[in-house]
Structure 1
Amino acid sequence: MRRIISICKEVPLLPIAIIAAIPLALLGSWRPWEAAGVSLTFGPFNPGVGQWIVIALVVYTIVVTVIGMIDDLRHGHVGVDLLAVIAIASTVAVQEYWAAWAVVLMISSGEAIEEFAQSKAEGNLTALVDAAPRTAHVVTLPGVGARAAAAGADGTAGDAEGDMTADGFRKVASVDVPNAAETNKSTTQTKPYDAAGEHFETVPVDQVKLGDVILVLPGETVPVDGELLSGVATLDLSNINGEPVPREVYAGARVLSGAVNGSTALTMRATQLAQDSQYQKILELVSSAQESRPTVVKTADVLAVPFTILSLAIAGIAWAVAGTPLRFAQVLVLATPCPLLIAAPVAYVAGTGRLAKAGILIKAQDVLENLGRVSHIFFDKTGTLTVKQPQVVRVEKPFENSSPYDENHILMMAGVVEGYSVHILSKGIAAAGQKAMQELYARYENGQRLCAERDLPGHGRDYPVVKNIEEQSGKGVSGEVNGHAVRVGRFAYVTADEAGFTHVLGAGAAAGIAAGAVADSAVGDSATGTAAGASKKPEVNSLFAPLEPDEMAAYVAIDGKLAARIVLRDVPRENAKSSLEKLHRLGVKKLSMLTGDKEASARIIAGEVGIDDVQSELFPEGKVAAVKNATEDAHQNQPAWDKVVQRVVGESMTRQVTMMVGDGVNDAPVLAVADIGMAMTDGTSTAASESAQVVIMNDDIASVPRAIAIARRTKKVMLQAVLVGLGLAIIGMVAAAFNLIPVVVGAFMQEAIDVVSILWALTALLDRE
């Protein structure tokens, strides 16, 4: 009921037209003025009361329609509602008042259907906009947040610099709390919060200042980007990246606007203003896509003009042959450009909404159109085809193995130490260490008690005791784990004593060193080193097998003895190969990899994911040149038939399209030079997305073929809706020209055609990829 009332408010002519049927039926030919001797006859026209009401509606409808056509022309759209104007005027001219009423009803109900279709198509986009945070709870306790300097314990304004102590803390006024003797006399005290007893003030989100401490209550939306101050929080990020499972974050983590808080209140410090926060950037993309009009829709507007001419020609010929103007009206009431004017844009808005629901945002609907014609896709390697950090693939013990620890214990201790490092390889080792720790716990639960090291996790201790962490840039990181000295890093670093000279290997390796085989090695890539291939240094080759070209290594020493080498490499995403296979099935002709890595390591990854064209050892400007050249070639080397079609419907609708898929800041220039730049993010990164036309918010490479499939289906649905609608309209006009369809029936049939084409366009919302 509410929906019906809302539609009537948006289209007030609809309820008026429905009510007008009553006087037309009951008072259609009633002429009370004739009894008074007054004549309202105009030539052959002598309408009754009900008929005059219809004429008034027709005049109003024509005026509103013409104003709308003029407004469309001012905004660069072709105003083709001329058919409706001529059709409704012609029905009155031939005194077919019921037909005129039916056309008015069809026009008003058509607007209502259009409103419904647009709102339905924009449903997913509207949901994103409606979820936008509008208020924030700013903590007002003294000494807390950016506003603390401006408020004392009594709520009065203070001086920002004057309220700071020499130690950098804010001065907090004392709170007068009555003692027990005074409690009976008065309950008044100065509170460090407002009169309502709340510790926060609710303000519009755009009034949040940098540094403000914000309270987010359970179930509320995070208002701005910030840093978590609470110990732990559970956040629903589905509005940002479509991630269905809530994410648990800890103190110090970045908290994104648009995330929905879990069941426990959290506190955070604002690090971005509202207009600069992540969710606002998402809304800007949504707004840009909603306001844009794809080329195919603009072309549909243009095609409505020849359709109007064709309709007038059929109607004119029918009038001339039949010799009666009624035949002209019969044809025109069936002439509907709605499949072009409404169905086409509705389909594209629906497709844009489908993408948004899948976690894929586009900046303009033209991008949706171009996505369906992508013929060549370039992929960045690291972070796009592969996971974002190198992963541990194996743990190798030296040939002269005297370590009492198994692989899980070594990984656990190395991972604990690496958890304090900032090096790019540290996350991979730390993650492997966590997994190893879980396996040790499982082993302990299964009853295994025999192990050389009983104090390590898996043998009763909840978490290892860690002390004395120290990181030496370019060398490695060290510390104590459960009282054991652990070093992780370059070979020379982990095999040196505290002075950095005496090597502390096992007995067998020490013998080799004594023989003069030892020198500093550049092989080991460490938690603080750089990737390298297998070394020719004798002390490494005598202890470990050579590394593969795409592998890097960090060495681990425990209690002064070399325990193992941890081998890492770029690992393809789990679904990278299947996603690229789907792209081939979708008809994408060529897939290429662009990377700055060495050719040998690049080809290993390319072979694993199924890419033949590999361009390696490229600097950023080399990637830009590769994509630019391919884009220019794609535009120039078009088949002759495509060039003919281009002259008819425009180049942008037929030419081949190149696309670049990347994830990082270094990808921004090459994303900008491709026909389509697609940025893969996890909802927390915006640097690359500012240069991209498509932003994947869920960091899933499977979204690349999904986006293309949705785009192609959207265009297919749009064409079907347009062709079906126009085809039915032309068949109906021809039948009416032969007097097979009465004028009133034709008016209702025209509305049925509109409904069919619009509902067909809405099927673009359905998930059928």
Structure 2
Amino acid sequence: MHNLSQFFPRLLAAVIRVCKLVPMLPVVILSAIPLALLDDWRPWGSVINLPILNNPGLGQWLVIALVLIIVIDTVRGMIDDIRHGQLGVDLLAVVAILSTVAVHEYWASWAVTLMITSGEAIEEYAQSKAERSLTALMNAAPQTAHVVNLPGVGRGFAADKGDLSDGFRRVGSALMAASAAQHFATVPVAQVQPGDVLMVLPGETVPVDGELLSGEATLDLSAINGEPVPRTVFAGARVMSGAVNGSAALTMRATQAAADSQYQRILQLVESAQDSRPAVVKTADRLAVPFTILSLAIAGIAWVVSGVPTRFAQVLVLATPCPLLIAAPVAYIAGTSRLAAAGVLIKTQDVLENLGRVTQVFFDKTGTLTVKQPQVVRVEMLPGVETQLNEDHVLMMAGVVEGYSVHILSKGIAKAGAEAMARLRARFAAGQRDCPEPEASTPGHGRDYPVVKNIREDTGKGVSGEVNGHAVRVGRLAFAAAGDDGFLATSPSDVRMRFGMLQPDEMASYVSVGGQLIARIVLRDVPRANTKAALARLHELGVSKLTMLTGDKRASAEIIAREVGIDEVHAELFPEDKVAAVQAADPVTMMVGDGVNDAPVLAAADLGVAITDGTSTAASESAQIVIMNDDIAAVPRAIAIARRTKRIMLQAVIAGLALAVVGMLAAAFNLIPVVVGAFLQEAIDVVSILWALTAVLDRD
């Protein structure tokens, strides 16, 4: 009973929504009442006697008026389509409805008007349902921003100060006061300019791109890159528009105007994809022309052979171009919506068509097939050196000092150091006390976090500092092994021999503690966790060749290629070499990359795919497809969605046209009455459109 009580209000709301989309629909439905009650009523008697129409009754005149309104509107739409380079193929509907009036089949006329208006309503509903993911994305676009109006924290402040961290300290207390006292003005987001300091309240959407001034903030990035877990960022971090703020107010400085921010770029991609028409839909438009000729031929032959004019209308009411006019574009909009839900944005719907025809995929290596930074694979203690430190101690100390560095290896070592620190804490909590300290009273002894002092980075050499009282050096062998006087105690070749040879795809940072070289940290470019599975899925989808294009050395490139299942490797390439390799391949080619140096080859490929984490890069600007969730598995998923979309579109079109042709032939032999045919045509339209709409379902 409870479900029933909810059903009727929902049904009523849906009906009202449909009627608002197509206001003529309720008028047509209600016109059935006077047609039924006042069909032959002629208060004017026999005064009127028109050619063809003779003397219709009052109810019949109402239907004729509706027919004229719909015909005029349909012809106007056909002319507008032709002006925009599309074929005006509603001719069948116009001829069908006029022919039913000409043979005085007014109920059939009413049925065709109902078919046209309800078909329009179904199209509007189907498109709105297919576009739900895209519409939700656009509706969530920030509209306003809170600009802080306190002195000393506005536009240009950070640039004047020179030191951004000093700027953070200066404005911190003022911004908290602004939050408490509402010292900000709410303005349209278009008025925000770079340099403005903004307040984003809990639960609000970040209006423009900027940098965080608050100490930390928790942001939901699911609308940008599909990342399900909120991300915690700290002062100075980039904050992207479209992110949803957590439970505490944050302050940020705008670095981009709204029109140039990340979320607006996403919306531009969505809008361009919605407005475009894929080649396959244009082909469907062209198919409507021979279908129209065939329908008119069947109707004309039926009239001539039978000698009954009604037979012409009887055939044409079943001639429905809706599978071509509506089902094809609905299927492709549904496919675009599915891609958006999977974190894949396309710039035009032609991309969706080409996705299903990919024969060869090229991949960049670093950051695409592999993670973005080299990762620690092992720690090797220097043979012959006695120390109480183990691998986790080395990683923890090295990770702490590398956390202050900007070197390419620093992030991988810092990440491994944080994991090692967690293991050491767990062991300490369990009672282990084997971490050596210079003195028991040294600050930091036994504490959760190490005490760090005197961090210094020598560019191109390494980083040094004190960790819990230990002098730590991390970097090149000559830097880490040097004594206080700058000289090496042993030769580099002797040290490398004691450690052993590295593999071609490995690199190392050396670590000394207390002036003694004790270990090296070995890193390598490791594949993404799901790369091998993603590439295997591409082979399953029938992609014939998977090729790696990289500027890296061949030995290291081939190691990665073997691990992930790449068929062919082109190594030691410059950007122009990558472009040449793609242009020499057979169509249809796809290039997948993530970096700035990938931009030329992404533009050269038939389909360029940029894998990003939601931030804007040169790669995503030149690509036709942008993967927003930094997931390589989205590549085969996008191809699978595209192929299913095209398959469903063809099924909807072919099934709809086949049913229409069978119906027309049956009507030509007088097996289907004209009124029944008009309603049967409506059923064919509904079946084809609803089948096209199944492209939005997650079944690939």
Question: What range describes the TM-score normalised by the shorter chain of this pair?
Answer: over 0.9
CA distance in 1, matches of 2:660, 2:344: 36
Amino acid at match of 1:538: D
Contact 2:444 2:451 in 1 (8 A): no
CA distance in 1, matches of 2:559, 2:96: 68
Of 702, 706, 717, 2:637 maps to 706
Amino acid at match of 1:768: R
SS of 1:221 mapped into structure 2: coil
- 1:478 aligns to 2:433 (yes or no): no
Of 375, 380, 405, 1:391 maps to 375
Q: Which structure has the larger Rg over C-alpha atoms?
A: 1
Aligned counterpart, 1:181: none
Of 213, 220, 223, 2:204 maps to 220
CA distance in 1, matches of 2:689, 2:613: 35
- 1:466 aligns to 2:477 (yes or no): no
CA distance in 1, matches of 2:370, 2:358: 22
Contact 1:440 1:458 in 2 (8 A): no
CA distance in 2, matches of 1:568, 1:334: 70
Amino acid at match of 1:684: T
Aligned counterpart, 1:658: 589
Amino acid at match of 2:479: Y
Q: CA deviation at 1:216?
A: 0.7
CA distance in 2, matches of 1:351, 1:60: 34
Contact 2:393 2:435 in 1 (8 A): no
Q: CA deviation at 1:209?
A: 1.4
Q: CA deviation at 1:451?
A: 3.7
CA distance in 2, matches of 1:168, 1:230: 11
Contact 1:442 1:458 in 2 (8 A): no
Of 451, 462, 474, 1:488 maps to 474
CA distance in 1, matches of 2:642, 2:485: 63
CA distance in 2, matches of 1:663, 1:60: 54
Aligned counterpart, 2:34: 23
Q: CA deviation at 1:499?
A: 3.4
- 1:356 aligns to 2:340 (yes or no): yes
CA distance in 1, matches of 2:443, 2:297: 87
CA distance in 1, matches of 2:602, 2:350: 17
Aligned counterpart, 1:573: 528
Amino acid at match of 2:121: A
- 1:8 aligns to 2:27 (yes or no): no
**For each residue in 1:261-309, what CA deviation from the matched residue of structure 2 results, as whole angstroms up to 9, or x when unmatched?**
1111111111111011000110010011000000000000000000000
Q: CA deviation at 1:449?
A: 2.8
Amino acid at match of 1:7: V
Of 295, 309, 314, 1:325 maps to 309
SS of 1:745 mapped into structure 2: helix
CA distance in 2, matches of 1:39, 1:286: 56
Amino acid at match of 2:344: I
SS of 1:690 mapped into structure 2: helix
Contact 2:402 2:410 in 1 (8 A): yes
1:562-601 → structure 2 map (5 Å cutoff): 562-601=517-556
Q: CA deviation at 1:114?
A: 0.6
1:274-423 → structure 2 map (5 Å cutoff): 274-423=258-407
- 1:755 aligns to 2:686 (yes or no): yes
Amino acid at match of 2:126: A
Which shifted more, 489-498 or 377-386?
489-498
Contact 2:444 2:450 in 1 (8 A): no
CA distance in 2, matches of 1:44, 1:367: 51
1:546-565 → structure 2 map (5 Å cutoff): 546-565=501-520
Aligned counterpart, 2:245: 261
**For each residue in 1:143-192, what CA deviation from the matched residue of structure 2 results, as whole angstroms up to 9, or x when unmatched?**
2211889xxxxxxxxxx99xxxxx999x99xx9xxxxxxxxxxxxxxxx9
**For each residue in 1:326-377, what CA deviation from the matched residue of structure 2 results, as whole angstroms up to 9, or x when unmatched?**
1110100000000001000000000000000000000000000100010000
CA distance in 2, matches of 1:82, 1:20: 24
CA distance in 1, matches of 2:602, 2:82: 35
Aligned counterpart, 2:69: 60
- 1:627 aligns to 2:636 (yes or no): no
SS of 2:617 mapped into structure 1: coil
Contact 2:155 2:195 in 1 (8 A): yes
- 1:129 aligns to 2:113 (yes or no): no
Q: CA deviation at 1:448?
A: 2.3
CA distance in 2, matches of 1:42, 1:374: 60
SS of 1:556 mapped into structure 2: strand
Of 260, 266, 270, 2:254 maps to 270
CA distance in 1, matches of 2:689, 2:156: 54
Of 666, 676, 695, 2:626 maps to 695
Which shifted more, 454-463 or 39-48?
454-463
Q: CA deviation at 1:231?
A: 1.2
Task: Note the residue ranges of structure 2 that are not aligned, 5 or more in a row.
Answer: 1-11, 161-165
Aligned counterpart, 2:7: none
Contact 1:480 1:486 in 2 (8 A): yes
CA distance in 1, matches of 2:541, 2:699: 14
- 1:719 aligns to 2:650 (yes or no): yes
Aligned counterpart, 2:151: 142
Normalised by the length of structure 1, the TM-score is 0.85
Q: Percent identity?
A: 73
User: What is the RMSD computed on CA atoms of the aligned residues?
Assistant: 2.3
Task: Note the residue ranges of structure 1 that are not aligned, 5 or more in a row.
Answer: 150-159, 162-166, 176-191, 505-512, 522-536, 635-655
Aligned counterpart, 1:101: 110
Aligned counterpart, 1:683: 614
Q: CA deviation at 1:753?
A: 0.5
CA 1:168–1:379 in structure 2 vs 1: closer, same or farther (change >3 Å)? Answer: closer
Q: CA deviation at 1:459?
A: 6.9
Contact 1:455 1:461 in 2 (8 A): no
- 1:540 aligns to 2:507 (yes or no): no
The aligned length equals 678
Amino acid at match of 1:745: V
Aligned counterpart, 1:602: 557
Contact 1:441 1:458 in 2 (8 A): no
CA distance in 2, matches of 1:372, 1:494: 53
CA distance in 2, matches of 1:609, 1:43: 75
Contact 1:216 1:265 in 2 (8 A): yes
SS of 1:32 mapped into structure 2: coil
Amino acid at match of 2:190: D
Q: CA deviation at 1:142?
A: 2.0
Aligned counterpart, 1:667: 598
CA 1:756–1:457 in structure 2 vs 1: closer, same or farther (change >3 Å)? Answer: farther
CA distance in 2, matches of 1:43, 1:698: 65
SS of 2:361 mapped into structure 1: strand
Aligned counterpart, 1:646: none
CA 1:623–1:193 in structure 2 vs 1: closer, same or farther (change >3 Å)? Answer: closer
SS of 1:31 mapped into structure 2: coil
**For each residue in 1:48-93, what CA deviation from the matched residue of structure 2 results, as whole angstroms up to 9, or x when unmatched?**
0000010111111111111100000000110000000000000000
CA distance in 1, matches of 2:62, 2:72: 16
Aligned counterpart, 2:666: 735
CA 1:116–1:571 in structure 2 vs 1: closer, same or farther (change >3 Å)? Answer: same
CA 1:17–1:44 in structure 2 vs 1: closer, same or farther (change >3 Å)? Answer: closer
CA distance in 2, matches of 1:564, 1:337: 75
CA distance in 2, matches of 1:141, 1:725: 65
**For each residue in 1:83-134, what CA deviation from the matched residue of structure 2 results, as whole angstroms up to 9, or x when unmatched?**
0000000000000000001101110111100100111111111111011101
Q: CA deviation at 1:254?
A: 0.5
SS of 2:372 mapped into structure 1: coil
CA distance in 2, matches of 1:617, 1:463: 43
CA 1:600–1:210 in structure 2 vs 1: closer, same or farther (change >3 Å)? Answer: same
Amino acid at match of 2:486: G
CA distance in 1, matches of 2:105, 2:629: 59
CA distance in 2, matches of 1:130, 1:657: 35
Aligned counterpart, 1:73: 82
Q: CA deviation at 1:400?
A: 1.4
